[in-house]
Structure 1
Amino acid sequence: MPSTNPVRPNHVRRPTYPLAHAARQKPRRVPLVLRFANGAVHSIIVVPVSLHSLFTLLIVYLDRHVTGSVGLPSTIIPSLSIVVGLMLVFRNSTSYDRFWTGRNCLTTIGTSVRNLARTFLVSARSKNGENLGEVERRDTEKIVRVLVAILYAIKHNLRAEFNIPPASLANEIPHPPSYSRSRPQSRRASFEGLGEEGGIHTAKAEYISLLPDGLMGYEDQGLGLPLQLAVLVEGYIRRGFERGWFHGPQASQMTVQVNSLTDAYGRMETIRSTPIPVAHLIHQKQVLALFTCVLPFAIVDDYGWWAIPIVAIVAFTLYGIEGIGEQLEDPFGYDKNDIKMDGIIEDTRQELMVLLEEWKATANGTALGGMFE
């Protein structure tokens, strides 16, 4: 009897626009157990695993053909393995805590940006029912774009990508760049001549439509762009209060959102700028190497030539765990195992841009059943 279930058994849901960039885009075609790239740590551990395998080969050869027995009592292994296990557990748990904290901080920042943009767009209304003036509309549109720009500024600062021209170089630019959204390439071309000699990267295209016209940075003087943009947001809250858009408690709550955003970014900076103590890293590397070098002596008499693959497997396991901790230690880069900051920020940008366009249509009287009516 044919099935009446309308759902196709082989149907795979395509990601809708919310979370479209942050979500995984395609199913895994290769089982994870067979994957040796795209997220695996094999490239990090191939050298130590190979060296320990060759060292074991030398020990087995000496034991079998040159010096006679070079084996050690196997009881030495349990005492060393306890120390190695404890150190690896500490390293990985600490690294994953940094990864998870960084992800939660990014969520806090995204939530604060969403809340502020939503409140700004809903509250930017004239009390007497008339349309907003041109100045107020431009001010509100600018500040929503600044909120989105804060996300990109945080991302690039955490990656040490400073891509807004500093004010100290304004006089070195023959023609000050336009931040106009109608000519997105003009600003990039204006700063390509500066190169990276002063630590300045070519302006990112994603900033062109977001930053206010003529905004100059102070990163060369120690002021991060996220804090600079947060000052603009705080100024808008003050202007909105003076215009009567926000009452006192509401303005105070929005200031709390700005403070939460700044606090979360500060914690991300702490993760980025505070590595694992070098004493721990040195001792961990030495203990791990010592254990893997002692292991061949403890098993050579019992396993003979089979000691080589056994040591290789043990080295693969232990150095792989250590390599995972090394990747998770700084989760804000471009590695496969890092936080998907690019996709998460793109999704937030898409949401806020849709809200902004709907608000603009409502403010201009062209919306048909819009959410801001």
Structure 2
Amino acid sequence: MQFIGLMSGTSADGIDAALVDFADGQCRLVHSLTHPWDADLRERLIALGQGGELQSLDEYGTLDVQVAEAFAAAAQALLRQANVDSSAVLAIGSHGQTIRHRPSGAAFDGMYPFTLQIGDPNVIAERTGITTVADFRRRDVAAGGQGAPLVPAFHAALLGDATEDRAILNLGGIGNLTLLPRDGEVRGFDTGPANALMDAWCQLHTGNAYDDCGAFAASGTVDADLLQRWLSDGWFALPPPKSTGREQFHLNWVSAQLRGHENPADVQATLLALTVITVADALKAHQPTTQRVLVCGGGTRNSVLMQALRDALPGVSVQTTSELGIDSDAMEAMAFAWLAMRTLLGQPGNLQAVTGATGPRILGSIHQP
């Protein structure tokens, strides 16, 4: 019952790989790592994710295979480090890399909603010799859903608690919440930008790929007027279910509301405040009884962000999932290992109340080695 989960999110800051053992109904993380992207490939993926265009079908096909080779290399590195033979792994669950996310809803009024992740699973299965499950999101979109977030079902199975109202907050490139009321229906949705914009702005103005511990933001002051201009974006007023990505929130979106005289550190501080207020407002609106927020994702390493969340949620316990013994960096990769297991068992992986799909669906396509 060992599965591998592979995940690269909106920030494209690396491929998270997790080897998970689900024996006896448990969920035990055996080993995890983050496999780096080639710098040029990462740059192309980020550009595509925020609306850049491919020049040809040949470029698309090549990129699809390049991403798959990187995902396969991440799985192989994971097995080497864990000293586990590929024959001991039942399947890989590969999220792929999202290059465009256009689900239905007011944020996208196209007649044919879609979501597109690349990283050919045939290549992953061939390189690793392991059954590979991939393309999880498109079935949910076909069923009228957002295709995201898919992790709440895993959060509920792993971290639901009958004694308190909980929320799981993933601070990746985009922020998303899973609401776990002690006696109610699981819900989940994206809250808006998180690391993606802070990382991009930090790199643009400091040359660093991310704001280490939030030091750049801490050196600035929140611009209340700029914050309100960003918050006036209609996406924030949309009711759940909703999801988003770099197509909606990118550096041009940031710059469109600048007046041209802002201090870069103040903008960084305001981006951090935007992440915090959208999370806090979402919790107050949709689960005001929340007693505990468990945070995972790269944002947990930003101590300024974590403290700002605690300040914005008085009376609520804000912890990382690592404090409960679940690696906060590996959570999403673990979820895709779990989703692969669900698919092989013929069990649905989505939640209708989360994505808005017309019903539960078995997600993903299976590729034998």
TM-score (norm 2): 0.26
Q: Which has the higher helix share?
A: 1
Which structure: greater strand fraction?
2
TM-score (norm. length: structure 1): 0.25
Q: Higher relative contact order at CA 8 Å, sep ≥6: structure 1 or structure 2? A: 1
